[in-house]
Amino acid sequence: MTTTSSNVQAAPVADEPLRVLAWYPEGGAFVPGREGTMRVEVVNPGQGLVPLQTRFRAPEGWTVVRSGTDVEHALGPGESQAEDIALTPPPDAPPRAGAVGAAPLADEGALRIELRSGALRWTVAAGLPVAAPCTVAGAGAERSRTDEPGRPQADFFPSRAAPRRRDRKTDNDKMHKSSTPTTKPAAARRASKAGFSLTELMFVIGVITVLAAMTFPAVGFVRERARRNSCLNNMRQWGMALTGYLDDHRGVFPSPVDDSRAWYNVLPQYVGERPMKELVDEGRAPVPGGGRRSLFLCPSDRVTDFLEDETTEVSSGPYSSYAMNENIDSGDNMPPYTRRLRLPQLKHPSTFVVLAESGQGCAKGIKRSDLGNADGGGDAFRHSRAINLCFADGSAASFHQTDVWEEGVADNQKFGTLIWASAIDAEN
């Protein structure tokens, strides 16, 4: 391949000129009537960024096909842009020897290369040598060839492979070979059609089973944690309602058992709920598994006796997952505590339990001993052995079973930091 170069006089933003290199077809010249590939490369040897757009003008009668487009490209310092130009001279093109390299702009037989950078334009001309065809006898046939090429004028890129002219015959032979079906041995065909073996299938099933066994408990824990937080949010809503009620009634707590002053009839209006009495009269009382969301129901409440047998203890009175501390309205309250406790009488309202989760589904009074049984019946610790409680100051929190309840411990006995009866509040 013959290589030559020419220089543009100036560059838009670079002190040094752009450099244009040209690679000619094999043989150093084009053959009349045959397509030849010429590569043109523009190099930016300067220090600045040059936006460049290149166009090619072939002589009259020549066919030109370029590999690129007229889209503008930016050449950085030391970068280059190369493009292959397929040129076909007319069959009657006269020979042009010695036209390799830069040519005068007035040469009508040269390839004109137009370089544009913004509003600036430069034009260089590359000579297009045309070889004289000669006849070579061989097997009664005639063919055209070019003289053997001499040494290139300059080797600017010794490590870069020069583009080779494609041999159509060789390409056709390769395509024919690739399209010819090959015959595989019978054993190879059987092996390619074989699927998974039974051992492999059992191994995959075993892996999936192990992964499922590891994932399901984690998913169940996350779902239960979400239900526990939803229940705790219900308790916080009831704490807000209790605070509003105490402010309106001079600190007197609602009753846990008296329907006319029961907490489930007087507190709902403070949080946008309807009183339990109205829901019962309309047949819309909340029940677990009924598909209705309610502040009276814990998402983890799974009591089913209420739906199965209306004569059971579970169904006596309105159903609720929460119940009020029975000791708030009790004759056991001794002076300075009144029968119906008042908030100013409590020394420790932040630890005095007002509402607790109920394992029996009854909204009426509840005691510490009602929270759980030794055999697990009526258990209120439904959140992985934890329970949500609401206190006299309106706060709510979750507690583990070991911090709240123990078999045989009465309300008037000290256990942990929680207070269930006025007697314990008086002692602290």
* Mean pLDDT on 317-337: 76
Q: Under 8 Å CB-to-CB from 122, ≥6 apart: which residues?
A: 8, 9, 10, 18, 114, 115
Split at pLDDT 50, 70, 90, the class of 102 is confident
What is the percentage of the chain residues whose pLDDT exceeds 90? Answer: 17
pTM assigned to the model: 0.48
Positive or negative: CA dihedral 223, 227, 228, 230: positive
* Mean pLDDT on 231-259: 91
Neighbours of 161 (CB within 10 A): 7
The string of pLDDT tens digits covering residues 63-88 is 888 766 666 778 788 788 888 888 89
Helices (H), 249-302: 263-266, 276-281
Give the separation between CA 419 and CA 428, rounded to whole angstroms.
10
| H or E segment to which residue 187 belongs | helix 186-193
φ, ψ (nearest 5 deg) of residue 220: -65, -40
> For the chain, which domains are there?
3-167 (2.60.40.10), 226-427 (no CATH)
* Mean pLDDT on 21-50: 81
pLDDT at 99: 61
Give the separation between CA 24 and CA 1, rounded to whole angstroms.
6
* Mean pLDDT on 133-161: 38
The string of pLDDT tens digits covering residues 207-227 is 999 988 888 888 878 888 899
φ, ψ (nearest 5 deg) of residue 417: -105, -5
Split at pLDDT 50, 70, 90, the class of 105 is confident
Give the separation between CA 370 and CA 148, rounded to whole angstroms.
110
